[in-house]
């Protein structure tokens, strides 16, 4: 096990209150579009999406990091709908985030800002449902894609998402003396060390992650990873957090295996493309020209992913990627808060749960999940 580089998070007594929101999205799609290799005949994956409600009591501000998707998918920009349908992507959205918040008793007027991790449809939601006073905060370069539809009929964004409201584009200091969290250039959003935006390029123009300080004694954090990876098999295992010999709790369903509390990791190493306890299961799927369907810059995306592995190595950090459906049933969602995640054991319970995607109903069963069966993403 290699010691990860220090994250050098500045000490602070300040925290924010975080709630994880399950945005009710279900998006089946072919695994080979984004991931390599096909493991154990899993050819179909299903994405969910999380976003985050963050409250900073000293300033009396409430913000959202990401916004899920529009409930009516066809109300997105026509060019976007046409493009996704061409790939056979037909999402189901039960509720949009404004509806979820209002059902939980929140007045949308109390949301001061919405931060997009990036400009993709399953993160931008429907800003028109928020008052015109709600600020939109985006990552560097996002405004270069404006104007949106209908001013630009070919745009994948909508004018209604930003027009007529305060909009701020974050810039990061990349100088040697600039603030950094691990490898990530960072922006101290509230100015007190409670919540940082992190420059995380590669997946999309302006892609950002975030780091929220959830307790001060001990110091704990939630890393909001956006689309840094699509499946936790891209992130784990790593040299900083190898696959242990025994997995406890077992990532296998207790109704389908004799391993109810723990299981040997050899069940999964036999499925690993290189049988490695220190290398991730998946890499990005690339075409013959080295391009990816889900990243604008493959080199930047891989650098961001490696930076996230360093963050993931710390047991004081709960990593929540936007599409990590393996956390369902582990984390408690809005209106519950997530600040007590360490005491509740979410990090331990959730870390290796994604491995359950790779095996069949019986321990050691060859063939595993049959082709076409949905796995979590």
**Three-state SS letters, 290-354:** CCECCECCHHHHHHHHHHHHHHHCCCCEEEECCCCHHHCCCCCECCCCCCCHHHHCHHHHHCCHH
Confidence of residue 259 (pLDDT cuts 50, 70, 90): low
Is 371 a domain residue? yes
Residue 356 maps to a domain:
yes
Predicted confidence band at 281 (pLDDT cuts at 50, 70, 90)?
very high
The tokens 């037909």 sit on which residue? 90
Secondary structure of 273-298 in HEC code, one letter for each residue = CCCCCCCCCCEECCCCCCCECCECCH
Residue 97: CATH number of its domain: 3.60.15.10
| pLDDT for 154 | 96
Residue 251 belongs to a domain:
yes
Instruction: Decide: 222 and 331 in contact? Cβ < 8 Å.
Output: no
Of 51, 72, 75, 73, nearest to 63 (Cα)? 51
End-to-end Cα distance, the chain? 27
Which structural domain range is residue 276 located in? 17-376
Question: What CA–CA distance (Å, rounded) separates 99 from 97?
Answer: 5
Is the residue at 296 inside a domain?
Answer: yes
Instruction: Report the number of secondary-structure helices (H) and strands (E) in the chain.
Output: 7, 20
pLDDT value at residue 373: 31
Smallest CA-to-CA distance from 355 within 229, 261, 263 is with 263
pLDDT of residue 256: 55
Is residue 290 included in any domain, yes or no? yes
| pLDDT score of 368 | 31
pLDDT digits (tens, 9 = 90+) for 239-252: 999 999 999 999 98
Instruction: Assess if residue 321 is contained within a domain.
Output: yes
- Tokens 């390599």 correspond to 36
Residue 261 resides in a domain: yes
Model's pTM, two decimal places? 0.94
pLDDT beyond 90 at 178: yes
Confidence of residue 363 (pLDDT cuts 50, 70, 90): very low
Sheet holding 167-169, edge to edge: 17-22, 50-56, 61-65, 113-115, 135-138, 167-169
- What is the per-residue pLDDT across 179-232, written as a single tens digit (0 to 9) for each? 999 999 999 999 999 999 999 999 999 999 999 999 999 999 999 999 999 999
Domain count, the chain: 1
Kindly report, residue by residue over 100-149, the tens digit of the pLDDT. 999 999 999 999 999 999 999 999 999 999 999 999 999 999 999 999 99
Q: Is residue 359 part of a domain?
A: yes
């Amino acid at each position: 096990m290699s010691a990860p580089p220090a994250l050098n998070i500045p000490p602070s007594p300040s925290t924010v209150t975080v709630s994880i929101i399950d945005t009710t999205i279900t998006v089946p799609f072919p695994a080979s579009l984004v991931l390599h290799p096909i493991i154990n005949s899993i050819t179909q994956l299903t994405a969910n999406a999380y976003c985050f409600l963050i409250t900073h009591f000293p300033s009396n501000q409430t913000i959202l990091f990401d916004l899920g998707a529009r409930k009516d998918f066809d109300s997105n920009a026509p060019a976007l709908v046409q493009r996704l349908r061409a790939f056979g992507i037909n999402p189901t959205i039960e509720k949009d985030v404004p509806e979820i918040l209002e059902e939980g008793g929140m007045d949308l007027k109390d949301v001061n800002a919405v931060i997009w991790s990036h400009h993709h449809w399953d993160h931008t939601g429907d800003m028109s449902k928020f008052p015109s006073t709600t600020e939109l905060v985006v990552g560097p370069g996002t405004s270069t894609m404006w104007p949106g539809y209908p001013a630009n009929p070919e745009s994948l964004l909508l004018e209604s998402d930003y027009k007529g409201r305060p909009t701020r584009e974050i810039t990061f200091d990349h100088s040697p003396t600039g603030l950094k969290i691990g490898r990530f250039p960072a922006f101290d959003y509230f100015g007190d060390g409670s919540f940082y935006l992190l420059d995380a390029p590669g997946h999309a123009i302006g892609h950002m992650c975030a780091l929220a300080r959830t307790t001060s004694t001990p110091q704990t954090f939630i890393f909001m990873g956006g689309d840094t990876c699509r499946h936790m098999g891209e992130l784990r295992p790593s040299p900083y957090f190898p696959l242990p010999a025994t997995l406890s709790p077992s990532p296998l369903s207790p109704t389908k295996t004799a391993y109810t509390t723990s299981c040997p990791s050899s069940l999964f190493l036999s499925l690993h493309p290189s049988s490695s306890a220190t290398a991730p299961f998946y890499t990005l799927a690339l075409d013959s020209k080295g391009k990816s369907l889900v990243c604008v810059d493959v080199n930047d995306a891989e650098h961001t992913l490696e930076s996230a592995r360093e963050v993931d190595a710390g047991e004081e950090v709960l990593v929540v990627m936007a599409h990590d459906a393996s956390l369902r049933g582990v984390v408690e969602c809005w209106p519950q808060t997530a600040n007590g995640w360490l005491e509740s054991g979410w990090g331990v319970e959730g870390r290796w749960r994604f491995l359950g995607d790779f095996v069949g109903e019986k321990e050691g069963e060859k063939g595993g999940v049959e082709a076409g069966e949905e796995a979590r993403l």
